[in-house]
Amino acid sequence: MIEEHLRRGIGMTSQRTRERLIQRLRDVRGIKDESVLEAMRITPRHLFVDEALASRAYDDTALPIGQGQTISQPYVVARMTEALLADGVPERVLEIGTGSGYQAAILAQLVPEVYTVERIGVLARQARQRFRDLRLNNIRLRLGDGYEGWADHGPFQAILLTAAPARLPEELTRQLAEGGRLVAPVGGREGQQLLLYRLRNGELEKEVLDYVSFVPMLGGTE
């Protein structure tokens, strides 16, 4: 189904425009995982933004999606996804912060099961419809507080956060399987680091991947 949307792309959403983005991610940004690049090549990012912003959908930049939220920069999506897959394909991934649904759509083409939590009702409804339209049937979405995770379906071999907490939530670390990976932007207004955590022998090992700017992670629902 995703390939059908790709073939229908015209103008600034054309195949050539998408290929320029993939070339930039590979040659300039250093993304090496070809499975990640292929998923991003065939995923119609313009369907995850407002129609008025479709001409910018394949720029390597974050874009507003309403409700004070953004769709992440393609490089950041690729970097986080690549980091999650570096030790092999996880069976089950938890995403905190569905947003537009773009990151979940990328993951759904690479892993068997994606569980994603969104706290803003209107964004959750829009994302769920996009998943249906693209027939991404291995994504499960719920409206909820991301700080609580989704324990009923844990433990997860990989967890990814698309909003920045001031510090890593302990509840999410409890839902990470032994040997699993957690990728998250962490920090406040003074700056954020994109961090990779590995759970080995019950202990979290931390690695700094990059410096980033994400919307803050909030609790509750609206």
Instruction: State in words which class domain 66-212 has.
Output: alpha beta
Calculate mean pLDDT across residues 165-171: 96
With a CB cutoff of 8 Å and minimum separation 6, the contacts of 124 are 98, 118, 141, 142, 143
Active-site residue, selected from the candidate residues 55, 72, 100, 213: 72
Q: What is the pLDDT of residues 106-121, one digit of tens each?
A: 999 999 999 999 999 9
Q: Pick 6 or 170 by higher pLDDT.
A: 170
Please report where in the chains the tokens 């990976």 appear, as a residue: 181
Token pair in block for residue 56: 């910018």
pTM of the model: 0.92
Q: What is the pLDDT of residues 94-106, one digit of tens each?
A: 999 999 999 999 9
Token pair in block for residue 29: 């940004």
Mean pLDDT (the chain, rounded): 93
Calculate mean pLDDT across residues 52-57: 91
pLDDT for residue 190: 82
Catalytic site includes residue 100: no
pLDDT for residue 97: 97
- Where residue 31 falls (left for φ over 0; alpha for ψ -120 to 50; beta otherwise) is beta
Domain locations in the chain?
66-212
pLDDT for residue 180: 97
Buried b (16+ CB within 10 A) or exposed e, 54-84: beebbbeebbebeeebbbbbbbbbbbbbbbb
With a CB cutoff of 8 Å and minimum separation 6, the contacts of 119 are 97, 143, 144, 145, 146, 218, 219, 220, 221, 222
Q: Pick 51 or 126 by higher pLDDT.
A: 126
Buried b (16+ CB within 10 A) or exposed e, 124-157: bebbbebbeebebeebebebbebbebbeeebebb
pLDDT for residue 5: 54
